[in-house]
Amino acid sequence: MEAFFLQQLINGLTLGAVYGLIAIGYTMVYGIIGMINFAHGEVYMVSAYLCAIGLALLSWFGIHSFPLLIFGTLVFTIVVTGVYGWTIERIAYRPLRNSTRLAPLISAIGMSLILQNYVQISQGPNQQGIPTLLTGVLRFEVGDGVVQITWTKIFISLPRWRGC
């Protein structure tokens, strides 16, 4: 029972780290432009797809060194997602900057729907997996059970626990 509780606690902390990073993004966008961006989750989704595409492209070009693969994928994803966000801001939000508060909100909801459907058409309606690069597992015996922490969970949680 102790191992089960501890495993669920670790799973919850990892998922909470991801949600925390998304919430920080929402807060930053609201603080900068004073508007809730309903398409923020969709931009996050597109960046996850770009990460998978970046991994595939770098592997296709023959780069198999782990540090180069991670660095190249991060640079590719950050640059393309930045351009993507800039384009969304130019198309959906900037023309409505001096309008009433309801118009940008409707535009944000519309952009969210457009991005969802764009990804569904381009990638298909099913979930897509990203190849696992960090394959190790840390195992700890707790009472009568075993708690497992994958290196992927540790890597996902690091930015959140560092305070980024």
113-134 tens-digit pLDDT: 999 998 889 888 888 776 676 7
For the cut 70, the answer to whether the pLDDT of residue 32 exceeds it is yes
Which residues form the domain of 153?
2-161
Mean pLDDT, the chain, as a whole number? 84
| The pair of three-digit structure tokens given for residue 116, joined into one six-digit string | 């969802």
Question: Is-contact 130 152, C-beta < 8 A?
Answer: no
pLDDT per position as a tens digit, 101-117? 888 889 989 999 999 99
Q: Among 69-73, 75-79, 158-162, where is mean pLDDT lowest? A: 158-162
What was the pLDDT predicted at 162?
56
pLDDT surpassing 60 at residue 163: no
What gap in Å lies between CA 37 and CA 109, rounded to an integer? 8
Q: Which token pair is 34?
A: 């004073």
Number of separate domains in the chain: 1
* pLDDT over 60 (residue 49): yes
Q: What is the pLDDT of residue 41?
A: 87
**3-state SS, residue 36:** coil
Does position 159 have pLDDT exceeding 70, yes or no?
no
Three-class DSSP category at 61: coil
Q: How far apart are CA 23 and CA 5, in angstroms?
A: 26
pLDDT at position 75: 92
**Residue 32 CB partners (closer than 8 Å, separation 6+):** none
Mean pLDDT on 138-150: 83
Nearest to 41 by CA among 13, 11, 21, 16: 21
pLDDT(164) > 70: no
pLDDT of 128 reads 72
For residues 64-88, average pLDDT: 89
